[in-house]
Structure 1
Amino acid sequence: MMKQRLSIFLGIVLVIALLCRWVISTITLPSFIEIKQQSAASYIQILARDGTPLERIRANFNQRRLEWTALEQFSSAIQEMILRSEDKRFYQHSGVDWLALGNAVVGQVQGEATRGASTISMQVVGMLVPELQRQQGSRRYAQKIQQMFYAMALEGQWSKQQILEAYLNLVPLRGELVGIPAGAQGFFQKYPEALNMRESALLAAMLRAPNADVDKLVQRSCALIKPDGCEYLDRFVSNAVKQRHSQWVDSPTDAPHLARRLISQYRAQYLHIPENLPSTIDASLQRFVQERIHSRLVELFAERVSDAAVVVLDNNSGEVLAYVGSSGQLSTAIDVDHANALRQAGSTLKPFVYAYAFDKKRLTAASLLNDDVLSLPVETGLYIPQNYDRGFKGWVSVRTALASSLNIPAVQALTMLDIEAMRDVLVSLGLPLNETGEFYGYSLALGSADVTLLSLTNAYRALANGGQYRPVSWLPIKNTDLSIDNQSSASAVKQVLSPESSWIIGDILSDRQARALTFGLDSALSTPFWTAVKTGTSKDMRDNWTVGWSSHYTVGVWVGNSAGESMRHISGVSGAAPIWHDIMQYLHRELPSMQKDRPSEVLAQRIDYEPRVEPSRTEYFLDKTAMKTIRLVGSDVVDSASFISEPTQGTIIALDPDIPKERQLVKFEAKQLNHQVANDVYWVLNGETLGGQNPFFWPARVGRYTLSLYHKNGRKLDEIRFQVRGIR
């Protein structure tokens, strides 16, 4: 009878065992390779074009997980502490530690406080299988049994080394930290292979209750490392828990703004972001630019300058070779990407105004414009542009006006064009002008619109490429199947300006003689190889720019302050230009730069001026616009022709009630075409002769007036109307 019962019992056990074995064989788990590939780090590493690391930026803010670490890269100390704490018989059991399970059951029946019997294999499947994960506290008994079956299945499909490696990489630690590598970095600034016994004991102690207080962690750590000693362990644990490191001390930090921009571009196009993200950045150039920004801003510290940004583009491919968004530690807003921040463009828009005027055949490089007092009626009154130095140069050619960055001639050029059409040209070049041309008005010629350094640099690259706009490229050529552009809507090549006008603009901006009027022959704009360059300074010296190109590269530099404070005595040529010059020198240290061949539709012509306001020279013209002689007309003796320079036509003068009437004088001044003070003239106001002094100061009186200028021989030279308002 006893034998029969034993046989039945053994038969039942055998059936149960076979049934369990069959159940285990039906369980399918993801492979170790799949789990390893799916375990994405919380950080993305930006790589330079040669594969060297540039920047490491966090992308997942729910967890802090590092790159997957192989088992052999964990120190023996951490492996020993983990096994001692979590699974002493890890290498002896097949997924379930039946001895530990039996002890746990007995302890629970007897009401004793014992730790659970979950093995490392059981914990791993608990992390891999969603239905086995904890739901508000401990797992249910059914979950525990299911977890045991899954653990035995895991042992049959993975090796012990793979299970332990996965556990070390996936186990949750304190707070947001996931995985021993993240804990080693976060608490100790160490790689896992460098963890010692104390550090390993603390990390292992966190596994049972990750957010336990310091005293509990000290107690558990000490229990693990005995009899090696627990001296000063309380201080050690306290210091480690308090010091949470988010980055490696030796992490590369060469392109933080580029990293954020690349990631945002990927997300905008719903693309998968790889852990190692390639870029077009030249690592050595990027670091040189950072060093040059730092050294230049240190020199400008007394002038209240704290920030700068630089963009370097390859003319042909459009690849972004350098992208520095701030001056780093010198900046008052280190995280602001100034290369992508909207800033007033200043004089940097002038080349596009003149190029468009050339294409519309309104002007040529030889055309004369009068750099003198100019007042234009607008809805709010009179718009009176001023030159940077508050002076006037008289009649100048377009070549001189653009190269020397004169403001008034640029405004005169815009008056010859349709402002809406000019605005559309700038938008077609990628500049972010969100308002209408009417909104900007004539001040558009002087850069009243806000632009970004990146968009402005790429617009200049269009000039370098014969007026052809193309978006920039953030990824190496081999990755061009991913369309990451500087503007998601810009995907096609656009011929915005003609190759002929673009070539002439480049010729003007490379002309040292033409820019000498403002900048002199020897300045930071001059290079020993061919370059075309333009500076710009915004209102109140808040921003200054230098943007230019060689035959290979386009470089844009912005210098200013994050909060928009004015700089002291800083212009584009003194602030941004030295940085631009040094970057160009670096780029061409072994590479020549030559001007592109002149387009066949651009004609070279020897020209003369009558009167001789500028020397004779060879000038370049679009087809059917060439001329040999440029002659000023409107006077029998042009050299001595005079005009009223002050006040300008339509001026409205308001008297100040707080100033005595006899002290409120209006200045009448006449000048010749060469901008010298006119001689042999006299003034007539409302038909009354005033006298021949020049300038003449007239006691202001309320009323409307016609002011006439006469030569001493009685010939009328000029006439304007103005008005005086105020107290009577």
Structure 2
Amino acid sequence: MPAPLKQARTLPLLLLALLAVLLWRTQPAPVPAFRSLAGQPGSIAILTDRQGRELARRRTDAATDRGDWLPLAAISPDLVRRLVAAEDRRFWQHHGIDWRSVGGAALGRLRGEPPRGASTISMQVAALIDPGLARAGQRDWRAKLQQARAARAIEAQWAKRQILEAWLNLLPLRGDIIGIGAAAARMAGRPAAALAPEDNAVLVALARRPSAPPAAVLARACRAAPDLACSAIAMAAARLLGPRQAVANRDAAPHLASRLLGPGVRGRVATSLDADVQALVQAALDRQLSALASRNVRDGAAIVVENDTGRILAWVGAAGSASRAGQVDGVTAPRQAGSTLKPQLYALAIERRLLTAASLLNDAPVDLETATGLYIPQNYDRSFRGPVSLRSALGNSLNVPAVRTLLLTGLEPFRQRLFDVGYRGINRPGDHYGYALALGSAEVTLLEQAAAYRSLALGGRSGPLTLKPDERPATRPVIDPGAAAIITALMADPAARAASFGEASGLSLPFAAAVKTGTSKAMRDNWAVGFSRAYTVAVWVGNFEGDAMIGVSGTSGAAPAWAAIMLALHAAPPPGFALPAGVERRPVAFLPAVEPPRTELFLAGTWQPVFALAETAEIAPRLTAPSDGTILALDPDIPASRQLLVIRSQGSRPGLFISVDGRRLPGLPARWAPVPGRHEIALSDGRTTYDRVRVTVR
């Protein structure tokens, strides 16, 4: 075959191959469905309550500032008209490519004129939705061809109004601002539908060169809007290009928003909260903190739980206008529990049939040996009441009876029970906390308090709380139902706490509600935690910095806010607490009559008609003071006759006496003048040694 003929046949094949390669290299990505694109959330995440009402919003994308997708009808028609006229005046006529503009750009290049763009709005949209395409304005012919092909594909699948709507929502305008909605809110401080014509002129200029200096933006805006006074446009440009408008956020749940709306979260995040309950809890806390301002109380927090489902209805992490640390989330911040752990202790003792609600506990001084020395618990008012029933001990929040109860249950069983009902932070061995655990020396959170008290409200069943609006976490039995019911009845009894809190304390409601207050060491924390059949409410007040409150009691601190919240939650009185099978009401009397006769609650098989104090002769003799291991330090400046040690005992036997190092002392109690050294103190009747302790004198 002659060479010229062969070349003539090869050339078309080469051209076809080159065309195929070009078509392959410029193949656009599949066009996304318009609805899926419009459904993508912006850079703002919104926290909503269970009914979809907005609670808070946060910008969660540090790179871009884009609002929710705006329909075309929500954007100023004047702005749409001006933008189309400036960027693609034949937009409504062409099918993705403006061939007249393409021809004009090519002719201008041949004439050596400055390059001008021929990108249509459809081509710009193609580049905006596909990061692989070159951005509009680039001069590379292959990129332009790829944009053109993508634009034709978009035009084949989307309506013109959809293309225009997408462009207006995806258009970069200034810095990190994307879309007309974000530009209107952050630059003009108004909705996109309410933009003024002068504002629109500035945005038209920014659409072509988002990063242009202010002077260039103004010059282009004035050229693009000859119908407007340039002085008015200059004022609009100064406003739009100046400091950004603050985002007007409704922050009804700021701490929860910070917890759930982290970086990368988009769109609406639904929670179990109820906006109305959240508002009433915030208002109740603010009022109470205002009333406590003179007592050096600046902070408060509260949580409300729906008992049946475990869903959290309110999460108020901080309140009060005087707070100096309002960013702290008081719902999750660990604080010392105070007396709020006592209901779980007494429930454990009743469940194990160690005590009943009528059992007598001695509210008298007690010294307990620990690894770090003597532990001597005191009551809140520094007084002692002698023998009291468990009902009175819990109702009046007495400390010494609680410690005596802990001696019966054991430290580790009580620690494990606290963990099981929801106090997940109390996770070290019981010996780590010591006897002070009965009085709430451990740190807990409001979230844990609500979970633990809900377990009592559910008759001993415990389970996690949830913030998901449709979730209902499973529960499991952790407390005997009868013991839970008895403790609930004791906490709901106003008469049981009357001696310490008065008959008409703020804890008394016109319906059945169980509640316990607590105050931590040095008056740093005050709690009120309680429940009805329907809701559990936990309230804390104090100071996040840890400084002490002044003169705040169990009924004057968190309790008024707790009562106000409970009253607001119950439009109608809820039903009372029911008693499960296995709980009996029986008459009891006390001998001597330390408390009046009454009808009391008992687990089946634990009732007895009379609760009496043991006779002195029935009490086993033992030394009560000093305790084993006591270390005494003599003061050389004080006469020895004034440093006598009083040695006390209990119980009675004929011929009973106290000796020190085998030397008999006269009297019971006995007095001894200590001398330096190690000594053994014994209690004996001459035949039997009933008790002995060792002390060191320095």
Q: TM-score, normalised by structure 2?
A: 0.86
**Cα distance in 2, alignment partners of residues 263 and 227 from structure 1:** 45
Question: 1:29 maps to which residue?
Answer: 31
User: Which one-letter code corresponds to 1:448 in the other structure?
Assistant: S
User: Which one-letter code corresponds to 1:381 in the other structure?
Assistant: G
- Which range moves more in the overlay, 283-292 or 223-232? 223-232
User: Which one-letter code corresponds to 1:566 in the other structure?
Assistant: A
CA offsets, 1:223-267, max 9 Å, x none?
A: 3333411226555434433432452x3x43212223344557xx9
Gaps of 5+ in 2: 1-15, 652-656, 685-689
Alignment partner of 2:447 out of 433, 445, 454: 454
- Which range moves more in the overlay, 159-168 or 439-448? 439-448
- The structural deviation recorded for 1:708 is 9.7
Q: Map 1:699-710 onto structure 2 (within 5 A).
A: 702-703=676-677
User: Which one-letter code corresponds to 1:414 in the other structure?
Assistant: L
User: Which one-letter code corresponds to 2:439 in the other structure?
Assistant: L
Q: What is the root-mean-square deviation of aligned Cα atoms in Å?
A: 3.6
Question: 1:42 maps to which residue?
Answer: 43
Alignment partner of 1:390 out of 365, 382, 390: 382
User: Which one-letter code corresponds to 2:534 in the other structure?
Assistant: H
- The structural deviation recorded for 1:579 is 0.3
Does the Cα contact within 8 Å between 1:355 and 1:502 map onto a contact in 2?
Answer: yes
Question: 1:142 maps to which residue?
Answer: 142
- The structural deviation recorded for 1:636 is 5.1
**Cα distance in 2, alignment partners of residues 361 and 275 from structure 1:** 54
Question: 2:4 maps to which residue?
Answer: none
Q: Closer, same or farther in 2 for the Cα pair 1:53/1:157, shift >3 Å? A: same
Q: Closer, same or farther in 2 for the Cα pair 1:599/1:406, shift >3 Å? A: same
Q: Closer, same or farther in 2 for the Cα pair 1:147/1:386, shift >3 Å? A: same
- The structural deviation recorded for 1:192 is 0.6
Question: 1:359 maps to which residue?
Answer: 351
Does the Cα contact within 8 Å between 2:202 and 2:236 map onto a contact in 1?
Answer: no
Does the Cα contact within 8 Å between 1:419 and 1:438 map onto a contact in 2?
Answer: yes
Alignment partner of 2:401 out of 406, 409, 413: 409
Question: 1:544 maps to which residue?
Answer: 526
CA offsets, 1:584-605, max 9 Å, x none?
A: 11122x3213432222211222
Question: 1:75 maps to which residue?
Answer: 76
- The structural deviation recorded for 1:672 is 11
Q: Closer, same or farther in 2 for the Cα pair 1:300/1:720, shift >3 Å? A: farther
- The structural deviation recorded for 1:610 is 1.8
Does the Cα contact within 8 Å between 1:90 and 1:120 map onto a contact in 2?
Answer: yes
User: Which one-letter code corresponds to 1:362 in the other structure?
Assistant: L
**Cα distance in 2, alignment partners of residues 237 and 671 from structure 1:** 91
SS of alignment partner, residue 130 of structure 1: coil
- The structural deviation recorded for 1:63 is 2.2
Alignment partner of 1:252 out of 250, 267, 274: 250
Q: Map 1:583-598 onto structure 2 (within 5 A).
A: 583-588=565-570, 590-598=571-579
- The structural deviation recorded for 1:47 is 2.6
User: Which one-letter code corresponds to 1:545 in the other structure?
Assistant: W
Alignment partner of 1:632 out of 599, 606, 613: 613
Does the Cα contact within 8 Å between 1:294 and 1:330 map onto a contact in 2?
Answer: no
- The structural deviation recorded for 1:691 is 8.9
Does the Cα contact within 8 Å between 2:460 and 2:477 map onto a contact in 1?
Answer: yes
Alignment partner of 1:467 out of 457, 460, 463: 460
- The structural deviation recorded for 1:578 is 0.4
Q: Map 1:109-148 onto structure 2 (within 5 A).
A: 109-134=110-135, 138=138, 140-148=140-148
CA offsets, 1:552-590, max 9 Å, x none?
A: 2111111122222222222342111000011111122x3
Aligned length: 667
Question: 1:8 maps to which residue?
Answer: none
SS of alignment partner, residue 241 of structure 2: helix
**Cα distance in 1, alignment partners of residues 427 and 190 from structure 2:** 50
User: Which one-letter code corresponds to 2:191 in the other structure?
Assistant: Y
Question: 1:3 maps to which residue?
Answer: none
Q: Closer, same or farther in 2 for the Cα pair 1:539/1:205, shift >3 Å? A: farther
SS of alignment partner, residue 231 of structure 2: coil
**Cα distance in 2, alignment partners of residues 557 and 655 from structure 1:** 47
User: Which one-letter code corresponds to 1:131 in the other structure?
Assistant: G
- The structural deviation recorded for 1:621 is 1.3
Q: Does residue 317 of structure 1 match 2:325?
A: no
Alignment partner of 1:500 out of 482, 494, 515: 482
- The structural deviation recorded for 1:456 is 1.1
Q: Closer, same or farther in 2 for the Cα pair 1:554/1:227, shift >3 Å? A: same
Does the Cα contact within 8 Å between 1:544 and 1:575 map onto a contact in 2?
Answer: yes
**Cα distance in 2, alignment partners of residues 114 and 26 from structure 1:** 25
**Cα distance in 2, alignment partners of residues 684 and 356 from structure 1:** 38
**Cα distance in 2, alignment partners of residues 664 and 332 from structure 1:** 51
SS of alignment partner, residue 298 of structure 1: helix
- The structural deviation recorded for 1:306 is 1.6
- The structural deviation recorded for 1:103 is 3.8
SS of alignment partner, residue 116 of structure 1: coil
Does the Cα contact within 8 Å between 2:306 and 2:312 map onto a contact in 1?
Answer: yes
Q: Does residue 427 of structure 1 match 2:427?
A: no
Q: Closer, same or farther in 2 for the Cα pair 1:60/1:246, shift >3 Å? A: farther
**Cα distance in 2, alignment partners of residues 212 and 234 from structure 1:** 15
- The structural deviation recorded for 1:70 is 0.5
**Cα distance in 2, alignment partners of residues 596 and 364 from structure 1:** 19
- The structural deviation recorded for 1:405 is 0.8
- The structural deviation recorded for 1:289 is 0.9
CA offsets, 1:85-113, max 9 Å, x none?
A: 42233223322233333443444455544
CA offsets, 1:336-362, max 9 Å, x none?
A: 221122222111111111101111111
SS of alignment partner, residue 434 of structure 1: coil
SS of alignment partner, residue 70 of structure 2: coil
Q: Map 1:156-175 onto structure 2 (within 5 A).
A: 156-175=156-175
Gaps of 5+ in 1: 1-14, 484-490, 674-682, 711-717
**Cα distance in 1, alignment partners of residues 692 and 395 from structure 2:** 32
- The structural deviation recorded for 1:161 is 1.0
- The structural deviation recorded for 1:688 is 7.7
Q: TM-score, normalised by structure 1?
A: 0.83
Does the Cα contact within 8 Å between 2:199 and 2:233 map onto a contact in 1?
Answer: no
Q: Closer, same or farther in 2 for the Cα pair 1:648/1:421, shift >3 Å? A: closer
Q: Does residue 652 of structure 1 match 2:631?
A: yes
**Cα distance in 2, alignment partners of residues 217 and 669 from structure 1:** 94
Question: 1:179 maps to which residue?
Answer: 179
Q: Closer, same or farther in 2 for the Cα pair 1:223/1:540, shift >3 Å? A: farther
Alignment partner of 1:532 out of 491, 514, 528: 514
Q: Closer, same or farther in 2 for the Cα pair 1:295/1:667, shift >3 Å? A: farther
**Cα distance in 1, alignment partners of residues 582 and 57 from structure 2:** 50
**Cα distance in 1, alignment partners of residues 409 and 540 from structure 2:** 29
Q: Closer, same or farther in 2 for the Cα pair 1:535/1:629, shift >3 Å? A: same
